[in-house]
Structure 1
Amino acid sequence: MFDKGTVNHESYITKALPVALRYGNKVFGDNWIFQQDGAMPHQHHLTHQWCEANFPSFINKDRWPANSPDLNPLDYSIWEELVNAMDWNKIRSKATVIQQLKSSVKKIRESFVFESCDVWTNRLYRIFQTDGNYLR
């Protein structure tokens, strides 16, 4: 959560990416892939340089289809788990949103994250088999 304004590439590189790197290394070790979409801070060449230099593996927006939530376990699975773990009645301010996010992330089972990634791998394989067409 950023205090003010929109996120630019500088704040994304200095504040968000190191957190993603620490979490990824903690949960997945040294064999995992970081993926980004086409959001403005993600597109900057310095963001790409940082990601390529620091993450074990990196998929940039040029190698990832736009508007593809069914290809991203965070979008189709883990966000829903996070939202369901939050106590929405306690949210009254930015501070309580942050508190609820932090406590809810801790409620998501590690096995759920791994299961979501397994399902994601299967979905990628099925999309490859259909030559990139929609899954039914």
Structure 2
Amino acid sequence: MIKRNPTTNTSALQIPRKDLGKKPYKYLKSQKLEEPARQKRKKRARGLLARFSRRRQRKIVFSDEKLFDIEQAFNPQNDRIWSDDALETVDRVVEQAQKPSRVMVWAPICATRKTPLVFVDAGVMINRYVYMGMLQGQFFPWAEEHFGDEEWCFLQDSAPGHKANETREMLAEECPEFISQDAWPPNSPDLNPLDYSIWSILEQKVCAKPHKTVESLKQALIKAWDEISVETLAKIVDDFPKRLKACVEAEGGHFE
């Protein structure tokens, strides 16, 4: 393995590529997986593959929450400004506040539709009572209207309010089927479509420039959310079994 040294000149960097036939790969930051977690990921991913074969992934409603802040999001490794003339430093700086204003959003999606975005008020902790209220007030009516008598399955992450006994009892009563915390692979944002795709789509559209207010951020999120098509949802959800298979083949380890 050849590591890049910032002091190495450009021509030297071409040697591994041209003369040795090597390709450059960037380091990836990810959560550390201990062996017990790897084994659980592999076992549970295999179980979900069997459970949701024959395109049954299209009956799953995936849910998740994410914090967005009003500042500009950027990747210092990949994002570049192309210009004919040299830019002043001030034109290249993306200022970041220590504690920017932010908003929490929660949303479920499936291959055929998405719920409206649910905004959580600033300072509100999503405990079991708040979460159960979101399910009763926003999600269950949406699911009844969308699915009717069709079978569907609900997936949530393992946040404390989600896995509380009262929450699980409600889900067992209201959902035709749901994926319990004992069936979902641990440490697996790489397996939830919202984490591996949807949130990135929103961030790229909404946070390319900073927002002056939280209300501006909310309106931009709603607009970007509404622009996500059913075709996009279906494609992203159909990647779910492929990613389960990749997880199994990676022995429960990282696969991207």
TM-score for both structures, normalised by structure 1 = 0.79
Structure 1: distance between partners of 2:176 and 2:255: 30
Are 1:67 and 2:187 counterparts?
A: yes
Look up the SS of the partner of 2:212 in the other structure: coil
Are 1:109 and 2:229 counterparts?
A: yes
The one-letter amino acid paired with 1:96 is S
Q: Which residue of 2 aligns with 1:121?
A: 241
**Structure 2: 5+ residue runs without aligned partners?**
1-118
The one-letter amino acid paired with 2:181 is K
Structure 1: distance between partners of 2:217 and 2:124: 17
Q: Residues 9 and 44 of structure 1 are in contact (CA less than 8 Å); yes or no, is this contact kept in structure 2?
A: yes
Which stretch of structure 1 is more off in the superposition, 122-131 or 49-58? Answer: 122-131
Are 1:10 and 2:129 counterparts?
A: yes
Look up the SS of the partner of 1:61 in the other structure: coil
Q: Which has the higher contact order (CA 8 A, sep 6+)?
A: 2
Q: Which residue of 2 aligns with 1:82?
A: 202
Are 1:132 and 2:252 counterparts?
A: yes
The one-letter amino acid paired with 1:132 is G
Structure 2: distance between partners of 1:113 and 1:24: 16
**Structure 1: 5+ residue runs without aligned partners?**
none
Structure 1: distance between partners of 2:201 and 2:145: 20
Structure 1: distance between partners of 2:199 and 2:125: 21
Look up the SS of the partner of 1:105 in the other structure: helix
Deviations along 1:54-82, one digit per CA (max 9) or x if unpaired, are: 22321122221221112111110111112
Look up the SS of the partner of 2:152 in the other structure: coil
Deviation at 1:2, TM superposition (A): 2.3
Look up the SS of the partner of 2:176 in the other structure: coil
Look up the SS of the partner of 1:125 in the other structure: helix
Deviation at 1:115, TM superposition (A): 0.6
The total of aligned residue pairs comes to 136
Structure 2: distance between partners of 1:121 and 1:26: 27
The one-letter amino acid paired with 1:55 is C
Q: Residues 85 and 107 of structure 1 are in contact (CA less than 8 Å); yes or no, is this contact kept in structure 2?
A: no
Look up the SS of the partner of 2:187 in the other structure: coil
The one-letter amino acid paired with 1:45 is N
Larger radius of gyration: 2
Instruction: Give % identity.
Output: 29
